[in-house]
Structure 1
Amino acid sequence: MKPISFLSLLAKHIVANYSTTIEELVVVLPNKRAKVFLLEELKKEIQQNSFAPKIISIEDFIQDIAGIRSIDSVELLFEFYNVYISLTEKDKQPFEQFSNWGKTLLQDFNEIDRYLLEPNHVFSYLKDIEAIKRWNLEPQDKTKLIDNYLLFWENMPLYYDAFYKHLLSKGIGYQGLIYREAVENLNHFSNSIEHKIIFAGFNALNQAEEKIFQHLLSLEKADVLWDVEETFLNDPYHDAGLFARKMKRSWPHYKANPYEWIFNEFKQPKTIKIMGTPKTIGQAKLVGEIIESISSSQPLDKIAVVLGEENMLIPLLNSLPEAVSHLNITMGYSGKNNPAQLLVSKLFKMHQNAFNRSKNSYVFYYKDVLEVLQNPLVEPFAKAKVVVKKINENNYTFITHSKLLDFCDNENQFFSLLFQKWEANPVTVLEKISSILLQIRNYLLDESSNDRLTNSFVYAVFKVVNKLATYCEQHNHITSIDGLFSLYKQIIDLAEVSFEGEPLQGLQIMGVLESRVLDFDTVIITSMNEGVFPAGKSQNSFIPLDVKRELGLPTFKEKDAIYTYHFYHLLQRAKNIYLLYNTESEGIDAGEKSRFITQLKVETQPNHVLSHQIYNAHLPEKARELIEVEKSALVMERLKEMAENGFSPSTLTTYIRNPIQFYFQRILRISEVDEVEENIAVNTLGTIIHGALEELYKPHLNAFLSVLNVENMLQLANDEVLKQFKLVYKEGEITKGKNLLAFEVAKRNVFNFLQLEKRLLEQNDAVKVLFLEKNYEQILIDGRLPFPIKIKGNVDRIELRNGKLRIIDYKTGKVEQASLSISNWNGLTEDIKYDKIIQLLCYAFMVQSDFPNTELEVGIISFKNLKAGFMPFQIKEGREVIVNQVDDSVLGDFKTELIVLLNEILNSELAFEEKIL
């Protein structure tokens, strides 16, 4: 037999017992969301037209008794600060510092009042504990810090008393104050009511609630209908029945009256599937698969997905199958994970850095700017691509405010709004943020594909920012952007997105607390890991654990019992249960599987069918297949075009390194994206050094160098390096940090090279520099090739030294002579370790025709190995050098190897195959 839901039973009870006075009845439920479901059940039971009873949440009910309006935690904190200022004569803390301990103290005030404790007794208890901790301190050992600390505990009763009276005078309060005042006003309230009250579906009650319930019960003006499972009530050790046992045992009403209602549903047949899968995303995907498999056999509104962690909501929504045409999300989504909040945080960071970098100017850091412009809420509307491209092309590390505004046309008001200067006025700053969010919302509404989810996120943060602006106008406690951001981070949780949906239709997605009083046929619970479900032992309080136990305040034991009740209540009337947990033992959302899973296994009921499975994502046998690209007609056409335009040595060595890299870079012409080079890269440093040496040697081309020439170059070297830096590195910052070090390295490399040149001249070397950074090309014509192929390249330096022609390639990295030597030609074009030899011999092939019958040397000068000087290409036999210059024989052998490589590249039958690097 199918179990009847608690709300259905409640509706039947109301109609059966209060049909004539139903409109006068007040039904108090644990939360507001259950009201809709109860009204739907009442509609099924009531046969004729009738007014519904008044259905109200417990918090609203208590407020009605107390006659005091509840205010949110931010307004409460501001009010508390006003009281603190009035009580503190000297050493007043700024609001940012006060708020750190003020929030915790307010939570303790709330607990003390909800449990109707005597405040002075609690605070004197705490003060005495702190005094005892320091009882053995000599007068000379007491510092001002210790005195202030003890003074804080002494002042607690003053803070509480003054704050309590301050709030009462305004008719506002926090939850605990309202509860205490409701108890004070209970007699007056009970005398003024004539209608009946039903409290339904409660579990854990604080002292104030217990007193109110019992008082109204004793006057027979209320009924309390529990939703208690007999299995847990009769088990003295089961936490799901902890509160029920306590109230059944201690309330005077139950000495003579039955304890209603007790059910026996948990022992009924149930299928419980425990499923482990890695990470949050894995669980979201698994939920989607479960829903897809069961949606055809049962209505979606009888299925509940209960999220142990709210940050799983977005992955879950993206994992739902197409069968889910309607859904109802009855849970809040934290402001911390809100995309709009992330944008506001980035704006704060960008403007804080710009404002604090220099008090005399407003300078943006490029990463801050890019993070804002590339935010998905900004990028489509701010012409971000244009600005990002200019920043990357010009290599801006720091951008002045005026320069940034010049990047985009003045017509784009949204762009100007993002980067307007922020003043140190919190209200003005919040108004600008509010305008940005409003502009984004208007853009979203204008879009043809109206993204309601994003709209909800933006609107939620917009409301919090406006509320914060109101607080800052009313209270002049925030005086800086840093202080404003600190407060913003504390209150952003208020930007909880409450989703709108049809609660009686479609799949039900909810948090743990939203599941109270509700029953479903199928329940899927996620994040069943310790520390999540149940939550861990958090102690955000000034009251120690042993004192809480002594005073009767709730500890983690009671909080765990509340979670236990909610968990077992979800299982109580369900037939099919899926419990998902993260199998990963490390990471943010990881941990051991929940004790509730272990408890279910240990205490398995006879009618329960439990199964435990581990689900892993499908893993292929290989991590990935190496890429292989066939040479199509278009590819062959592009290769022929490249052969006509010329293969450079770097193109050839790219192929040797990895044919697929050659395919992407040279065939498809996919280049790396321009990015700001914040720290000077090695290749950029090489370009700067090459450029500086070229400019220094230019005036002395085709003339024999003298020591005086080199000394003049040494005088000009530093200025020339600086000039090259500005030319190559553009707007990049070189006056500090790693870039300053790179700048000094460049200067040192040029200086050391010129010193080497000077020493060699002093040793009577005769040097004439013929060419610098000269482009050469040569057609390779050979019967073994399908057609003539051009070889081209840029040669760093060609000189005549002591009558020999020398081709030199500069390397900023370290090169050893061993990497320029071979013993035979086999495999020259197959191994990337010979790339420098291939490069040098390509230069020799291109240059040789311009210098017939001339002794030719090719080699490298390594700036990190300058002591080695010029390192020539060599052919060795053992340790003996056989050849150290290039002649026709050497070039003939090289051409043979080069032709083999070119034929491989141009062979249409050979695919481009990826190499494992």
Structure 2
Amino acid sequence: MKKFLEYVAEDIISKYGTDLSRIAVVFPNKRASLFLNELLAKQAGHPIWSPAYITISEFFNQHSKLTIGDSIKLICDIHKSFTECTGIDETLDHFYGWGQMLISDFDDIDKNMADASQVFRNVKNLHELDDISYLDDEQKKILKRFFSNFTDDNNSELKKRFMQLWCHLEDIYNNFRVRLKHQGIAYEGMMYREVASDPAIDYRYDTYIFIGFNVIQKVEQQVFMRLYKEKKARFYWDFDKYYMQKKQSGILINEAGHYISRYLDKYPNELDCSNDAIYDNLHKPKEITYISATTENIQARYINTWLKENERYKYGRNTAIVLCDEALLSTAIHCIPEEVESVNITTGYPLFQTSISSFVLQLLDLRINGYSSGKGTFRTKHVMQILSHPYAQYVSGQSTTIKEKLANERIYNPTPAILSQDKGLSTLFRSPDNNQPLTQWLLDVIRTIADKCGTTEKDQLTQESLFRMYTLCNRMNELVKSGDLNVDIITLQKLIVQIINSTSIPFHGEPAEGIQIMGILETRNLDFDHILILSCNEGNMPKGINDSSFIPYSIRKANGLTTIDNKVAIYAYYFYNLIQRATDVTIAYNCSTENGHTGEMSRFMLQLMIESNAKIRRVSLQAGQQMEFSHAPIIAKDKNIRQALDEIGYLSPTSINRYMRCPLQFYYNNVAQITEPEEDMDEMSNRIFGNVFHNASEILYKQLMDKDGSITRDSINYAIKHKELIGRIVDMAFTKVIFEGKSNKKIEYNGLQLINREVIIRYIGRLLEIDLQLTPFKINNVEASAYTDITIYTSLGERKLRIGGRIDRLDQIYDKNTACTRLRIIDYKTGRYTMKKINTIDEIFKMPIEAGKHADYFLQTMLYAMIIRHDKDYNPESLPVSPALLFIQHTSEEGYDPTISIGKERIIDISDFEDEFTERLLNIITEIFEPKIPFKPTEDKSICEYCPYHSLCGR
């Protein structure tokens, strides 16, 4: 089918010949100009003097002494005007959205040539409107209906605040315009209005040809009319008779023709409006398919199939993929089949989806949350995040080395001097300086990356994203240095994040070649034979109408400003104009109601179904895949695994418990030796907290013991009374556990560590109070090693093994209830647990370990008790040995006794349960090494939730 621009090119050549040097062709956007230029040359058949191609925005720019201000700069300036006029001290980051809304309102007022004073009239008496003679009856009716909502009976605080701001809008408007004019800049509407209102402007070209416009703002109408009267303007309108039909009442049947129908009489069409070949195409036969899909990505993946069907990809630029939701772009790009030789992408790629964006956000977090200005140190967590980012290698070749150094030497809160191993790292971890803005630091880091990427990274998207980020930060830096952006570092961070989220990277390419991928706005003036429209949902088409404004709908309508109604009509035109000359149209929409989607097809799709005579085929797009549930593997003990098992000569209670929790977890950890992820020492996990407590209690009791290990009432009272002693000991424990004794100077705690320090001091005090009731007693050992050798028998024969571990505390007390002396194996527990009763030994060895019973604690302390019971070095007098679990948080209970019980019977002597315990223990250990028994995943899937290996087994 012949395209609109082909008709335009033929008409221009026939009327103006081939010397078009004194003609300017004006389009709504840039994209169509290359297409028209090619068509003009083709129509002429020989070289021509091309016309000038400009957009409507460039047209106004050429005739104004003002320049369009940078968007960030405009927000900064309107914030100053806002503060000056209202006296409201609002931070710039909070004001940012308000500023965008205000500029949008002012822009709309100016483009529609509205009387700003009238729009922002200060209505002091909401019951009466003074001097409304300039309003017609309909406008008066609309305004009174609006102000009736602001009577004294319905005057909420929110409305009070709105009215306070609304009353100053005219002041802000005037102040802002004066402020901008002094600087020689303007927002778009301000510039347009100035040009439209200046009768002295001498337009540089003899003829201006305006092509493919739809909605024309009043400033544009004024310029168009002046040029038309001076016989300098010609107009080419692109429409279809389908949406230009009127009812008997004179109202259009379809809103798509709302604007063009108004302009045809004022600005006559150069083409013949009665020519059905040009203007009656929606009625012609078309293959239209509606596709419902359950996700956005399924639609994007369909691109591959759609292009291959009927070999649509071979039609090149006559084939277009239109994204109503431009967030689909990244997925769409990866779905282009290999057969496609060239693709042209018009819509922009979101900057926040690029690697440089994530790196900059991490840099901001490093400077804001990861640096202590008082101490002059960085937090290790934030440093490690930076060094782990792929872009760190571009900053410095030493990034991996310094990262390993921090991890291996456990350097916490490193200074810039420690981190600055070369020029790149010195830039990255530069000490913040008030004389050098945050934005300058970001620029230096990005420049360092760009210098390296320029020689090693050939990916265009990477280079474009770096350039765009550098440009953005450079603009912010200039505003900071000029004083326009005078905000604190937190506000600056928020502004940078907001701007990154709203910035896109334009793609470069030859628009006249290849498959066209574009947003809906880029389709204006262009026709395609084959069209795939994706995500054509209500909310995307028309685009989610955001009516946020400081000017209420009623007032906007009364003063001829843009309203929701106008925006719907604009998008209706885009939709119908896109498909009117196509012969093959496929429109997909998301039918799912999940993740914020309404599941509704666009209203324009419904209109086409109901109002047109087109035969529309409806199909559903299925993923073509069934959900596959992953199954955790069963690991048979083959030759390699048996060899790995043979190398295990020692088992700890922790390893045995791990097997009982999940044999597969035991395999990953003990056999395959896949270590668990390192804990962040800054975050103080439960294990790290427990280690600090254990170490502090060990140091304390070694100081309180006499030479024979005796603990007296006086020694404990001394420790309770002198809390500073406990504090020093806890500091020593932190130094050893977290800082590994590397620091010889005062410890610098972060906030979380400081809180946990106080908790540990309180726990130590509570432990002392419990032990005070036992005095005098004797501590035989702390952190004592307890091991024994065992023999098991598998199908391969005899196997010897060593089992055991370290005991938190081995003490000797006199039990008043039994009137005998016994040893206790104390295992400290710092967490809050609700212990369930263990009624039998069998429950300790039940697989998997039942959640909440903590049978693994029983196994550990009972194993140690059994070992100590027969160890002549620790128990030369063969005293009874009791296993005990001392839960610090439960010690406030009256009569608290940490000795564990089986059923109702306290274990005064482990010997009473030794035979049964040993039998069950040997059975479990035999099972671990038995070649015929594979490593199977646990049946209790709740264990998988916190398992560090769940991603490996795939459950």
Q: TM-score, normalised by structure 1?
A: 0.85
Separation in structure 1 between the aligned mates of residue 375 and residue 710 of structure 2, nearest angstrom: 52
Separation in structure 2 between the aligned mates of residue 512 and residue 807 of structure 1, nearest angstrom: 74
Aligned residues: 883
Out of 206, 211, 218, which is 1:207 matched to? 218
Residue matched to 2:107: 110
Counterpart mapping for 1:132-151 below 5 A: 149=165
Residue matched to 2:2: 4
* Shift, 1:905, TM fit: 1.5
Residue matched to 2:121: 124
Does the alignment pair 1:776 with 2:786?
A: yes
Counterpart mapping for 1:272-291 below 5 A: 272-291=288-307
Alignment gaps of 5+ in structure 2? 130-146, 247-251, 814-819, 944-955
Separation in structure 1 between the aligned mates of residue 417 and residue 291 of structure 2, nearest angstrom: 54
Residue matched to 1:724: 733
* Shift, 1:228, TM fit: 0.5
Structure 1 residues 291 and 91, CA gap change in structure 2 (3 angstroms)? closer
Out of 405, 426, 434, which is 2:417 matched to? 405
Out of 627, 639, 642, which is 1:620 matched to? 627
Residue matched to 2:691: 687
Structure 1 residues 523 and 396, CA gap change in structure 2 (3 angstroms)? farther
Structure 1 residues 733 and 620, CA gap change in structure 2 (3 angstroms)? farther
Does the alignment pair 1:885 with 2:930?
A: no
Residue matched to 1:59: 57
Residue matched to 2:424: 414
* Shift, 1:842, TM fit: 2.7
Residue matched to 1:16: 14
TM-align CA RMSD? 4.1
The 8 Å contact of residues 29 and 56 in structure 1, kept in 2 or not, is answered as: yes
* Shift, 1:535, TM fit: 2.1
Residue matched to 2:570: 562
The 8 Å contact of residues 787 and 803 in structure 2, kept in 1 or not, is answered as: yes
Counterpart mapping for 1:566-581 below 5 A: 566-581=574-589
Does the alignment pair 1:461 with 2:466?
A: no
Separation in structure 2 between the aligned mates of residue 131 and residue 422 of structure 1, nearest angstrom: 58
Separation in structure 1 between the aligned mates of residue 464 and residue 279 of structure 2, nearest angstrom: 40
Separation in structure 2 between the aligned mates of residue 103 and residue 837 of structure 1, nearest angstrom: 64
Residue matched to 2:674: 670
Counterpart mapping for 1:567-606 below 5 A: 567-587=575-595, 592-606=600-614
The one-character-per-residue Cα deviations of 1:379-398 (angstroms, maximum 9, x if unpaired) are 5534444444555667777x
Q: Which moved more, 1:227-236 or 1:789-798?
A: 789-798
The one-character-per-residue Cα deviations of 1:717-737 (angstroms, maximum 9, x if unpaired) are 443233223322339999686
The 8 Å contact of residues 395 and 445 in structure 2, kept in 1 or not, is answered as: no
Does the alignment pair 1:633 with 2:639?
A: yes
Structure 1 residues 293 and 30, CA gap change in structure 2 (3 angstroms)? same
Alignment gaps of 5+ in structure 1? none
* Shift, 1:333, TM fit: 3.4
Q: Which moved more, 1:459-468 or 1:648-657?
A: 459-468
Q: Which moved more, 1:289-298 or 1:720-729?
A: 289-298
* Shift, 1:501, TM fit: 1.4
Q: Which moved more, 1:480-489 or 1:776-785?
A: 480-489
Residue matched to 1:808: 826
Residue matched to 1:432: 441
The 8 Å contact of residues 101 and 548 in structure 2, kept in 1 or not, is answered as: yes
The 8 Å contact of residues 806 and 857 in structure 1, kept in 2 or not, is answered as: yes
The 8 Å contact of residues 65 and 186 in structure 1, kept in 2 or not, is answered as: no
Structure 1 residues 275 and 704, CA gap change in structure 2 (3 angstroms)? same
* Shift, 1:444, TM fit: 1.1
Out of 147, 166, 189, which is 1:176 matched to? 189
The 8 Å contact of residues 859 and 870 in structure 1, kept in 2 or not, is answered as: no
Structure 1 residues 21 and 404, CA gap change in structure 2 (3 angstroms)? closer
Q: Which moved more, 1:268-277 or 1:476-485?
A: 476-485
- Structure 1 counterpart of 2:26, one-letter code: V
Counterpart mapping for 1:745-764 below 5 A: 745-761=759-775
The one-character-per-residue Cα deviations of 1:245-297 (angstroms, maximum 9, x if unpaired) are 2224x538589995788522222333333334345444433334433556566
Structure 1 residues 370 and 293, CA gap change in structure 2 (3 angstroms)? farther
The one-character-per-residue Cα deviations of 1:788-832 (angstroms, maximum 9, x if unpaired) are 222232223334444434433333345678645416689656645
* Shift, 1:499, TM fit: 1.3
For the residue of structure 2 that corresponds to 1:580, the secondary structure is: strand
Residue matched to 2:922: 899
- Structure 1 counterpart of 2:864, one-letter code: Y
Residue matched to 2:391: 377
Separation in structure 2 between the aligned mates of residue 435 and residue 547 of structure 1, nearest angstrom: 49
Residue matched to 1:251: 266
Separation in structure 2 between the aligned mates of residue 215 and residue 835 of structure 1, nearest angstrom: 90
Residue matched to 1:229: 240
The 8 Å contact of residues 110 and 177 in structure 1, kept in 2 or not, is answered as: yes
Does the alignment pair 1:914 with 2:937?
A: yes
Separation in structure 2 between the aligned mates of residue 602 and residue 704 of structure 1, nearest angstrom: 95
Out of 588, 611, 616, which is 2:618 matched to? 611
Q: Which moved more, 1:542-551 or 1:609-618?
A: 609-618
The percent identity for this pair of structures is: 25
Does the alignment pair 1:155 with 2:171?
A: yes
Separation in structure 1 between the aligned mates of residue 81 and residue 714 of structure 2, nearest angstrom: 81
Q: Which moved more, 1:666-675 or 1:65-74?
A: 65-74
* Shift, 1:524, TM fit: 2.1
* Shift, 1:342, TM fit: 4.5
Structure 1 residues 475 and 871, CA gap change in structure 2 (3 angstroms)? closer
* Shift, 1:23, TM fit: 4.4
Structure 1 residues 7 and 380, CA gap change in structure 2 (3 angstroms)? same
* Shift, 1:786, TM fit: 3.3
The one-character-per-residue Cα deviations of 1:656-682 (angstroms, maximum 9, x if unpaired) are 100111111111222222232344332
For the residue of structure 2 that corresponds to 1:518, the secondary structure is: coil
Separation in structure 1 between the aligned mates of residue 900 and residue 303 of structure 2, nearest angstrom: 65
Structure 1 residues 166 and 297, CA gap change in structure 2 (3 angstroms)? closer
- Structure 2 counterpart of 1:626, one-letter code: A
For the residue of structure 1 that corresponds to 2:283, the secondary structure is: coil
Structure 1 residues 70 and 899, CA gap change in structure 2 (3 angstroms)? closer
Residue matched to 1:333: 349
Separation in structure 1 between the aligned mates of residue 692 and residue 479 of structure 2, nearest angstrom: 55
The 8 Å contact of residues 34 and 518 in structure 1, kept in 2 or not, is answered as: yes
* Shift, 1:487, TM fit: 5.4
The 8 Å contact of residues 340 and 461 in structure 1, kept in 2 or not, is answered as: yes
The 8 Å contact of residues 734 and 743 in structure 1, kept in 2 or not, is answered as: no
The 8 Å contact of residues 265 and 573 in structure 1, kept in 2 or not, is answered as: yes
Separation in structure 1 between the aligned mates of residue 590 and residue 922 of structure 2, nearest angstrom: 58
Counterpart mapping for 1:21-32 below 5 A: 21-32=19-30
- Structure 2 counterpart of 1:512, one-letter code: I
Out of 20, 31, 34, which is 1:33 matched to? 31
The 8 Å contact of residues 22 and 53 in structure 1, kept in 2 or not, is answered as: yes
* Shift, 1:560, TM fit: 1.4
For the residue of structure 2 that corresponds to 1:912, the secondary structure is: coil
For the residue of structure 2 that corresponds to 1:328, the secondary structure is: strand
Separation in structure 1 between the aligned mates of residue 275 and residue 770 of structure 2, nearest angstrom: 99
For the residue of structure 2 that corresponds to 1:299, the secondary structure is: helix
Q: TM-score, normalised by structure 2?
A: 0.82
The 8 Å contact of residues 660 and 845 in structure 2, kept in 1 or not, is answered as: no
Does the alignment pair 1:324 with 2:351?
A: no
Counterpart mapping for 1:419-568 below 5 A: 419-425=429-435, 428-447=437-456, 449-474=457-482, 478=486, 480-482=488-490, 484-485=492-493, 488=496, 492=500, 495-568=503-576
* Shift, 1:100, TM fit: 6.2
Q: Which moved more, 1:227-236 or 1:461-470?
A: 461-470
Structure 1 residues 757 and 521, CA gap change in structure 2 (3 angstroms)? same
Out of 776, 784, 792, which is 2:804 matched to? 792
Separation in structure 1 between the aligned mates of residue 496 and residue 360 of structure 2, nearest angstrom: 10
For the residue of structure 2 that corresponds to 1:613, the secondary structure is: strand
Separation in structure 2 between the aligned mates of residue 433 and residue 45 of structure 1, nearest angstrom: 52
Out of 868, 874, 888, which is 1:847 matched to? 868
